[in-house]
Amino acid sequence: MKHIPIRYMSSAQKEPNLSGSFTIRNLKELLDGKDMIQELHRHDFFFILALDKGAGEHEIDFDDYNICDRSVFVMRPGQVHQIKLHAGSTGYLIQFNTGFYYPESQTSRQLIRRASSTNLYQFEAANFRKLQAVMDGMFEEYSEKREKYQDVIKAKLKIFFIELIRQNDDTTLNHTSIYKQERLADFMELMENHVSEQKQVSFYTAKLNLSAYQLNAIAKEIRGKTSSELISEYILLEAKRYLLATTNQIKEIAFHLGYDDVSYFIRFFKKHTGFSPEAFRDRFT
C-alpha cells in the first residue's frame, strides 16, 4: 500500500546541539522572488507559517484558506496540506519535531496541544507586532547560536504559543474547562494512534479512566458531537486523505483503516459523505 507523501526534517535542518530538530527561516530569503508551491503531503513535524505580509491559498485537511496579512498557520504532525504562497510574502517558517519542544514536559505538551488545535489565527496589527517581536528574537538566537540559545528558543516558543492561545480567547476558560479540554485532547491523541484497531468508545474510556457518559459530555460541550461521532469523523478524514493523496485501491484503504469488510467501509463512507469512496476520489481529483 502506498502512503501519503511525508516530508521529514532533513539532515541539513537538524541542529547537533538541540534535542530534536528546529528551524526558523526568513520567508523573503526562502522564497527568493518565487512562489512556493507544494502539492498534497503531510509532515512528521510541527509546521508554523507566520506571515506579516502574505497572499496565496492554503488547504489543510481539505479545508480551504486564503493566505492574508498578519496570519499564522499552525499544523500538527500528520495533517495533510497543500499550499501556494505568492512571491513577496514576508514572515517566518518555523518547523520542529515533538522531541525538541516537549521531550518530557507535560506543561509544554498541554500548551502546544491548545495552540495547535486551531489551524489559522488572524491578528490585528498591534497584536501581531507582539508576535513579530517574539519571532525576531527566535530568529536572532537561531542565527547567532550563542550560549544556551536553544533554551532561549524554547522559552520564546512558549511565549509564542501563549500569544496564539490568547488570540483564540482561551484565557476566559476556568480550570474546569481547561481540564475538560485536556481530557478531550487525550482522547483525540489516543484515537489518532489506535483508531485503526479500536473503534469502540469503551476502549478509550478505559484508557482515560472516564465513563462513557463523562466522555460524551465533554465531547458535546467542546465539539458539539458525541465521542462516537468524533471517532467516525476522524476515520472519514483519514479516508479522504488517502483517497486524494494516493492511488491506493479502496480495499487497501479500508484495510489500512481497520475494515476487513470492504463493503461495510463503502457503506459507512457513503452514509457520512453522500459519495462512494470512488466517486469522492473522482469528484475531487
The answer to whether residues 247 and 2 touch, using CB atoms and an 8 Å cutoff, is: yes
Residue 16: band (very low, low, confident or very high) from pLDDT cuts 50, 70, 90: very low
The answer to which of 3-12, 133-142, 205-214 has the lowest mean pLDDT is 3-12
Decide if pLDDT at 178 tops 90.
Answer: no
DSSP 122-152: E--HHHHHHHHHHHHHHHHHHHH--TTHHHH
CA of residue 239 relative to chain centroid, distance: 17
CATH number given to 175-284? 1.10.10.60
pLDDT of the residue at 44: 87
Q: Do domains 6-172 and 175-284 have the same CATH topology?
A: no
Which pLDDT does position 12 carry in this prediction? 37
pLDDT of residue 133: 97
Residue 181's pLDDT is: 84
pLDDT of residue 11: 38
Q: How far is CA 89 from CA 68, 103, 172, 221, in A?
A: 9, 33, 33, 38
What CATH architecture does domain 6-172 belong to? Sandwich (2.60)
pTM of the model: 0.81
Q: How many CA atoms lie within 13 A of 189 on its CB side?
A: 17
Amino acid identity at 162: I
Q: What are the domain boundaries of the chain?
A: 6-172, 175-284
Three cell numbers written together for 244: 486524494
Q: Are the C-beta atoms of 53 and 90 separated by less than 8 Å?
A: yes
Residue 10 is predicted with a pLDDT of 55
Q: What is the mean pLDDT of the chain?
A: 89
70 versus 166: the higher-pLDDT residue is 70
